[in-house]
Structure 1
Amino acid sequence: MSINFWDLLHQRQDELTKSGRAVADYLLQHADEAQYLSISSLAKECNVAEATVFRFCRALGFEGYHEMRIALAQANATGSMVNHQELQPGATTATLCDHAHALFMTAINGTQNALSTEAVDEAVNLMRAAKQVFCFGQGGSMLLANDICARFSSLSTKFRTAGDSHLQLLTASLMGPEDVVLFVSYSGATRDMMETLRTAKDAGAKIILLTH
């Protein structure tokens, strides 16, 4: 069955325990923030146990917290209907699309909420003034760095990339004060990344870190 999260909560509200109603009240008052919280963080905000949050999810008909948060995120983002049943290997294409859409919207909304426009403006000014901009990343982040480089290269010839961590380190050692490194990293704390950025900084280059 597919139903909007808020309609579902309204239908089941009278069936909730006192602790469950505390969770419901928090979601109603902090819907945008709640969709990004882990189960432990939500439990802390509601002054209840994690088990209470899990029971709340089950009381609404969800298999667990993950499914509940997807439904909440999609309701917040689009107001559209969402399938709140557990995603199974034999799920329909429509169900898979609903889940994928909700996950992407959660990521987009989370980025928007965490974004500092001042930091974006500063990064833009650094890249605009740079002689060369090197787009680096490692592992899976290298794919994103290459994509960023390709997109910016359609606007300017100053954008560069390097194939692996060793070449990135070598390139960093040859940079100067007019160069900028745009480094993409999910964790923002890998050893190779720190070594490359330290080398680039010692050479006088400016650093922009795009991280989670």
Structure 2
Amino acid sequence: MKNLFYRLIIFLDTASEEDTNYNIALFMANNFYRISSMRINELADACFVSPATISRFCKSLGYENFAHLKQECHSFHSNDKKFNNLINVNLNTMAKDPREASHIYVGQIIETLETMEETLDWHVIDQVLKLIHDHQNIVFFGTQFSNSAAVHLQTDLLMLEKFTVAYMDSERQKERAKEMGKDDIAIIISVNGNYLYSGYKTLQYLKKSGCKIVLITCSDRDCLHIPVDYYIKLSNLKDGKSGKHALLTAIELMSLRYYTLYYPSSLNDLMGHMY
């Protein structure tokens, strides 16, 4: 369900206000709790568009139709534990003693990060960094925080003169997967291995393409149900919630490692590299 909020935010942050779909997304964001009880004609009238336009927008968000989106909205409303997916801390503890809640959560993060020293395979990471350096078309795939981490790495690599692609929109990821070839590199970032559920079609396109596939995750190698060529295990999670901290740490370490391996070490080297 969180994926819907993520996609709405991404769309509103990147689309033009002149875009017809922008008004639909804005209405949904401001009237989310009404959507599950609205008919498609009601939503269309509220947004001054046709029902067909509503249907197309729902498909662009990854839903089969408006009824599918309504079903997920209804499920979200009926779930009184909707915020339990944020961190693995008891809500009563946070309400009564936020200092104790902080202590618990920080302890979980420390435990997750400490396992990374043994879990990260730098031989594999160096192979992946060489792929990034040597190949032209590097595309990141992921959702939500994993996608944000991909953009973080993409930005670092661009500062080191390496252009990569990290689309925030899942539909653009799927379309790009259709175009991938055997000389391309797909880097799938999925902290808990859940990309299988939101990106199933994208994964099938990647499998068919013959491209090299890199998986960065805290989960098992086969969590995506497709073969992967390079597997970077971030950490062994006990709580299932602190993996994003392992991912961000690994991304920053990978950026620094890429710098030490491939970036010119002096200004003269840099000038020769540029010309």
The TM-score with structure 2 as length reference comes to: 0.40
Alignment of 1:1-212 (within 5 A): 87-91=93-97, 93=99, 95=100, 98-189=103-194, 190-212=196-218
Aligned partners of 2:129 and 2:109: how far apart in 1? 25
Aligned partners of 2:163 and 2:94: how far apart in 1? 47
Aligned partners of 1:130 and 1:174: how far apart in 2? 16
Aligned partners of 1:192 and 1:101: how far apart in 2? 29
Cα pair 2:131 2:185 within 8 Å, conserved: yes
Give the C-alpha shift of residue 208 in structure 1: 0.8
Q: Flag the 1:96–1:152 CA change in 2: closer, same or farther, 3 A.
A: farther
Which secondary structure state, in structure 1, belongs to the residue aligned with residue 128 of structure 2?
Answer: helix
Give the C-alpha shift of residue 87 in structure 1: 4.6
Cα pair 2:139 2:185 within 8 Å, conserved: yes
Aligned partners of 1:164 and 1:88: how far apart in 2? 34
Cα pair 2:154 2:163 within 8 Å, conserved: no
Q: Flag the 1:195–1:122 CA change in 2: closer, same or farther, 3 A.
A: farther
Q: Flag the 1:177–1:137 CA change in 2: closer, same or farther, 3 A.
A: same
Give the C-alpha shift of residue 199 in structure 1: 1.4
Q: Flag the 1:88–1:142 CA change in 2: closer, same or farther, 3 A.
A: closer
Aligned partners of 2:129 and 2:204: how far apart in 1? 21
Structure 2's unaligned 5+ residue stretches are: 1-87, 219-275
Give the C-alpha shift of residue 210 in structure 1: 0.8
> What amino acid maps onto 1:195 in structure 2?
K
The TM-score with structure 1 as length reference comes to: 0.50
Q: Flag the 1:203–1:101 CA change in 2: closer, same or farther, 3 A.
A: same
Q: Flag the 1:88–1:185 CA change in 2: closer, same or farther, 3 A.
A: closer
Report the identity percentage.
20
Cα pair 2:142 2:188 within 8 Å, conserved: yes
> What amino acid maps onto 2:167 in structure 1?
A
Cα pair 1:126 1:206 within 8 Å, conserved: no
Q: Flag the 1:156–1:203 CA change in 2: closer, same or farther, 3 A.
A: farther
Cα pair 2:178 2:205 within 8 Å, conserved: yes
Give the C-alpha shift of residue 123 in structure 1: 1.4
Q: Flag the 1:128–1:197 CA change in 2: closer, same or farther, 3 A.
A: farther
> What amino acid maps onto 1:121 in structure 2?
D
2:252 equivalent in structure 1: none
Which secondary structure state, in structure 2, belongs to the residue aligned with residue 159 of structure 1?
Answer: coil
Cα pair 2:191 2:217 within 8 Å, conserved: yes
Cα pair 2:133 2:162 within 8 Å, conserved: no
Corresponding pairs, count = 128
> What amino acid maps onto 2:199 in structure 1?
M
As a proportion of its length, which structure holds more strand? 1
Q: Flag the 1:167–1:88 CA change in 2: closer, same or farther, 3 A.
A: closer
Q: Flag the 1:156–1:194 CA change in 2: closer, same or farther, 3 A.
A: farther
Give the C-alpha shift of residue 112 in structure 1: 2.6
Structure 1's unaligned 5+ residue stretches are: 1-65, 68-85
